[in-house]
Amino acid sequence: RCDGAILPFVAASKSFDVIVVGSGPGGGIATYVLCRAGLRVALVEAGKRLRPGVDFNAHWNVYEKLEERLKQGLNPVSSVWRDFAARDHFTGIGDSPGHGLLRALGGRSLCWAGHSLRFGPGDFRQWPISYDEVKPYYDRAESFMGVHGEKNGLWNLPDGVFQKKVPIRCAERMLQIGVERLKAKGARMEFVPQRKAIPTEKHSSGRAVCHYCGHCMQGCEVDSKYTSANTPIPRALRTGNLTLLTESTMTRILVASGRATGIQYVDAKGEVIEIGCRALVLACNSVETPRQLLASGVANSSGQVGRNLMSHFGVTVIADFPQLYSRDVSNDDGTDYYHSLLTGLYWDQPSKKFEGTYQVQCASGMLPQRLGVKDVPGFGAGFRQRLKQVNAGHANMNMQGTTLRSAKKFVDLDTARKDRFGVPYPRVHLHYEDSDLAMARDMVETCERVIASAGGKVWSSPGEMAASKLVIDQNHWVGTARMGTDPKTSVVDVRGCSHDVRNLFINDASIFPAYPEKNPTLTN
């Protein structure tokens, strides 16, 4: 039954070598590798394929589409995330947790910023595998994705296989000057250009070279930015080994005699279908993967499924550099908003005030169709002039810190609420702790020091820190099916294979046993 209706049922009529569930960063690359190896693969995705430049296109003239989009209940400016992201799909418990879910071929790779940062040797100390073991795969992934960047020689943010870098913008250069002055006085920090999976030179995928429109997170309408939908999945289809099942929602994992035998899913017509497999790969994300495991009652003899939930969180400090007010802003092009990183904090000497690390993603510039600073007082001609000046001279400093892993952060099932297929919604529990607040305070102090050292002023700052001021990154959840060598304390082994169900693999960030300040996708 589905909302009281009887759905037609179709018994297992097809069997595959491997079923992959989820077509985001993890599922897309797994599908390609398996198909290339000659295996017959079914890729199951709950959403449809979105067409770049058609279903999303921030290049459109806003006023030409305004009436049509408003009638559809959409924002004036096209955005994959705002237009297509799931709503009311989980239950939040505690300090305003979020859960980013985009049901579409390619998943959240369609709207990611492309930030591609390697975890370093220090980050892997808490993993059962080392950086040296992972390094060859980083090399291959960066080449495959088309990552641009600059070689900086930092031990815990290793250099990679890069195309030519994208220059940082004017106000970010001011922050860089501030950092260099503080380093000269003994501060331990670094300021480097961002690294992104967006080609700045010709790439083997045939994707267009970036033309710096700045719409990356709204959805790349020219398909330059790497996504699962434009690189690994098309290559998998060309092998002839892939069966692509879009608009198909998995509702149950089928297990017999301790092995995964297939899945049950509901297709676009509402039919309930079972398909079989020799091996099953879950790549649903770090909330949906534990949800499906818990709902099906499999792979949880350790009791760790849904536990060890971590994400990135932060607050924002905005700098004001009056010396830049009169600059020419006509060349503020680039890849989206954030172009640089304040990093290297607490790598060598951990803080005595909090656990873990953070980085600061820095941005500036006046971008088409949006402004970095909007809260400027006044009205009339004076207001317009002031708005232009402040945006020309601003720099945004956005903290990306790792939440403390604890028993207060986890995913479980909401048995009181179910989706239209009868599967319980996930509950996401988030409770910030003293360590999290202390980290945020340190970030604000550090950013204000950098701004002052650069000769700028603080335009806005969070002030007295409280949990209500912290913002969770709803797209960076990890850790809910952690990797480990002990079946009693972990869900999967070092290959991502379930300790309990030996032909069930997890290929998303839920297997991370520890989490640094760096973005998860490249490691995923």
Residues pairing with 426 in the sheet: 413
| pLDDT of 13 | 59
Torsion, Cα of 196, 200, 206, 211 (10° steps): 100
Q: Are 217 and 246 in contact (CB under 8 A)?
A: no
- Specify the DSSP class assigned to residue 368: T
DSSP sequence for 285-299: -TTHHHHHHHHHT-S
What is the Cα–Cα distance from 185 to 179, expressed in whole angstroms?
10
Q: Are 338 and 362 in contact (CB under 8 A)?
A: yes
| pLDDT of 298 | 97
Q: Are 20 and 283 in contact (CB under 8 A)?
A: yes
- Which residue bears the tokens 């067409």? 51
Least Cα distance to 241 among 32, 429, 79 occurs for 32
pTM, to two decimals: 0.95
Least Cα distance to 426 among 515, 295, 328, 320 occurs for 295
**Spacing of C-alpha 110 from chain mean position:** 10
| pLDDT of 367 | 79
434-453 vs 170-184: helix crossing angle, rounded to 10 = 100
| pLDDT of 10 | 47
The encoded tokens of residue 466 equal 């409280």
Least Cα distance to 224 among 213, 235, 239, 234 occurs for 213
The encoded tokens of residue 346 equal 């607490």
DSSP sequence for 460-500: E---S--GGG-EE-TT--B-TT-B-S-TTT-SB-TTSBBSS
**In 3-state terms, what secondary structure has residue 316?**
strand
Longest dimension (CA), the chain: 74
Report the sign of the C-alpha dihedral through residues 196, 201, 207, 211, in that order: positive
Locate all alpha helices (DSSP H) within 239-307, ordered by sequence.
Answer: 288-296
| Ordered per-residue pLDDT tens for the chain, 524 residues | 333 333 444 444 599 999 999 999 999 999 999 999 999 999 999 999 999 999 999 888 888 888 988 998 888 889 999 999 999 999 999 999 999 999 999 999 999 999 999 999 999 999 999 999 999 999 999 999 999 999 999 999 999 999 999 999 999 999 999 999 999 999 999 999 999 999 999 999 999 999 999 889 999 999 999 999 999 999 999 999 999 999 999 999 999 999 999 999 999 999 999 999 999 999 999 999 999 999 999 999 999 999 999 999 999 999 999 999 999 988 888 899 999 999 999 999 999 999 999 999 999 998 767 789 998 999 999 999 999 999 999 999 999 999 999 999 999 999 999 999 999 999 999 999 999 999 999 999 999 999 999 999 999 999 999 999 999 999 999 999 999 999 999 999 999 999 999 999 999 999 999 999 999 999 99
**In 3-state terms, what secondary structure has residue 89?**
coil
Gyration radius from the chain CA atoms:
23
Any residues with CB less than 8 A from the CB of 186 and at least 6 apart, and which?
Answer: none
